[in-house]
Amino acid sequence: MAARVLFSFVFISLLFTYFPSPCSCLKYADSMVVAGTKQVEKVNLALYYEALCPGSREFILKYLVDVFDLGLIDIVNLKLVPWGNAKLTQPNDTIVSQVTFTHLHPPHLILLIIAPLSLCSVGEDECYFNTIQACAIEALPDPTKHFKFIHCVIKKTSNGPIHGKEEIWRSCCQGQKEVEQHIQNCYESGHGKELELKYHDETPDHDYVPWVIINDKHIEVIF
């Protein structure tokens, strides 16, 4: 709880650092006269993450949610990019997931290939949910709505083995059949892969995930 309060304080402080003054004032004698107002520019916040990465899940479930709970979304342009450390193989742009098995000595880095004939387990689930969330962002352009969906899916995939992947994301649509159909069509048609390839191109060089950018500047918050 203390870590969450600390992060919220730091994050709010950062937002106000980037937040411009909404008006300019002129002091005349003992009076304060508003000289004019200007349209307030929102703070641009981009999060580059992975659907099943423990750090990404913790950041979204415990900290990014405060942007909504505290009403900060009104002054924030939020962009969620579910790609993270996924890689592409040539020549057919196959999406792979990168997993480090730390319990081995020395730790072994394994590339888990996601292809029509899948050779993976954990990596396959991550690429699946990255794509589902990309489709949901398109189906629900309002950040509040697609964040609610993503928060729901991540919460339901955070504890133990994942069973019933499709049932999980469908339940997070909360009965919105048009949204369910859009996501299903997006994934099954291959459009979801196209969205993921776009997110690949948009993802900057990074050292880890979650990777947070505020107004084109990377910020590092320890949580």
Tokens for 62, please give them.
Answer: 């415990």
Which conformational region is residue 71 in: left (phi greater than 0), alpha (psi within -120 to 50 degrees), or beta?
left
Q: Rounded to an integer, what distance in angstroms lies between the CA atom of residue 169 and that of residue 103?
A: 31
From the list 191, 202, 187, 149, the residue with the least C-alpha distance to 171 is 149
Nearest CA to 209 out of 107, 67, 72, 97 is that of 97
- Amino acid 198: pLDDT: 95
Instruction: Select from 152, 132, 127, 141 the least CA-distant residue to 57.
Output: 152
Whether 141 has a pLDDT exceeding 90, the answer reads yes
Q: Which of 34-43, 57-66, 83-92 has the lowest mean pLDDT?
A: 34-43
* Helix axes 122-139 and 191-202, enclosed angle (nearest 10): 90
Does residue 99 register a pLDDT over 70? no
CA distance 99 to 105: 15
Indicate the average pLDDT of the chain.
79
Kindly tell me if the per-residue pLDDT of 139 is higher than 90.
Answer: yes
What is the enclosing helix (H) or strand (E) of 134?
A: helix 122-139
Residue 2: pLDDT over 90: no
The token pair that represents 98 in the structure block: 């990168």
CATH classification number, 43-219, choose in 3.40.30.10, 3.40.50.300, 3.20.20.80, 1.10.3720.10: 3.40.30.10
Residue 192 and residue 203: Cα distance in Å, rounded?
16
Answer for the pair 217, 3: CB distance below 8 angstroms, yes or no: no
| Most trustworthy range by pLDDT among 10-24, 132-146, 192-206 | 132-146
Give all strands (DSSP E) within the chain, no chain letters: 23-28, 31-37, 43-49, 76-82, 87-89, 94-101, 108-114, 211-214, 217-219
* Residues 6 or more apart in contact with residue 128 via CB below 8 angstroms: 165
* Segment 69-91 mean pLDDT: 87
